[in-house]
């Protein structure tokens, strides 16, 4: 049963899940839409899931290393 149009601006396809059409629902599940399925890393252009705090594993380690170098100076 259709749930109205897709909630993504400019898309007129019928919504099937979470208010998105089939195509956009798949993108949402993969984290490809601006409002992703999971909380993502706050580092610019990173869409990896957060680990602890607001960064992913990769960027959490880098920001801690940079902070440690600044404190040592």
Q: Give the number of other Cβ atoms within 10 Å of residue 60's Cβ.
A: 17
Higher pLDDT, 35 or 23: 23
Write out pLDDT tens, residues 13-31: 999 988 899 999 898 887 7
**CB environment 27-53: b (16+ within 10 A), e (fewer):** bbeeeeeeeeeeebbebeeeeeebeee
pTM over the 0.95 mark: no
CB-facing half-sphere around the CA of 33: CA atoms within 13 A: 17
What's the pLDDT score for residue 56? 87
Q: Residue 63 burial (CB < 10 Å; 0-12/13-18/19+)?
A: middle
Write out pLDDT tens, residues 43-62: 888 878 888 788 888 888 76
Query: Mean of the pLDDT values across residues 3-18?
Result: 90
């Amino acid at each position: 049963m259709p749930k109205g149009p897709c909630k993504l601006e400019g898309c007129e396809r019928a919504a099937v899940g979470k208010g998105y059409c089939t195509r956009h629902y798949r993108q949402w599940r993969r984290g490809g839409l601006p409002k992703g399925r999971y909380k993502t890393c706050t580092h610019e252009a990173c869409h990896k899931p957060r680990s602890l705090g607001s960064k992913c594993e990769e960027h959490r380690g880098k920001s801690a290393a940079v902070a440690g170098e600044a404190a040592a100076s």
